[in-house]
Structure 1
Amino acid sequence: MSPQDLLSTYGPREAMEYDVVIVGGGPAGLSTAIRLKQLAAEKGSEINVCVLEKGSEPGAHILSGAVMDPKAITELFPNWKALGAPLNQPVTGDDLLLLSETGAQRTPDWLMPRNFDNHGCYVISLGAVTKWLGEQA
């Protein structure tokens, strides 16, 4: 079929215009959309942001748990606790175990790499946090 035949049969396509289109409704995509809207609001302007997600809802494809430093969510939402963000379980300890065929041995604290220190972080469901971010967007 030619383009003219398609137009005469089905009519013109619908179109929607956006200032920004973000592909992926995961934590990074939703945080980007939220921050763009916040920056526009600070300048007293409006911005049209579209987040494209293949799942039925944000976080639908995320199954993992994670340890999350609340620094980034605090930058986006200083009142995230009052808003009900699903960060409920603070990290209470860090252990690094060396596994072998016969058992496990705990690494002494003085040998623990600094990037393994999760004090002040939360154990989260990444899917729940992503779903909550989608509700805030």
Structure 2
Amino acid sequence: MEGFKFKNFWRSVITVAAVGLLGLCAACASSSSSSKKSATVPIELRIVATEFKYEPNVLEVPAGVPVSLLIDNSRAATEHGLTLVEFGVRLEVRAGEVARKTVVFDRSGEYEFICDLPGHKEAGMKGKLLVKG
């Protein structure tokens, strides 16, 4: 009878340890999965376009991560755009609308963004993008 109790005791200890280990593995997998998801969610940069400026006109982003550029032209009376020549990015947005594009800036440095519609850059629609990293 004592041998039976001893075997049941160790069987219970092993079962509890196995269940605990499985729970720990599931928690680690869940944590790893959620951190992967959050790592791929783009950083949003909201730029408001008006006649004839951007707000903000200086942007800073880390290199190598997805960035969602959002140009908000909802308060403007005319069409505007946002162009970053070095990265091949061009957004154009009608008055009263919003446009978005996801980009990965893979090179550190300082870059100019402009509205390339005729006369807009000359009227003041330009800014700086600082890519850090």
TM-score band (shorter)? under 0.3
Larger radius of gyration: 2
Point out the structure with the larger helix share: 1
Indicate the structure with greater strand content.
2
Give the TM-score, by structure 2 length. Answer: 0.20
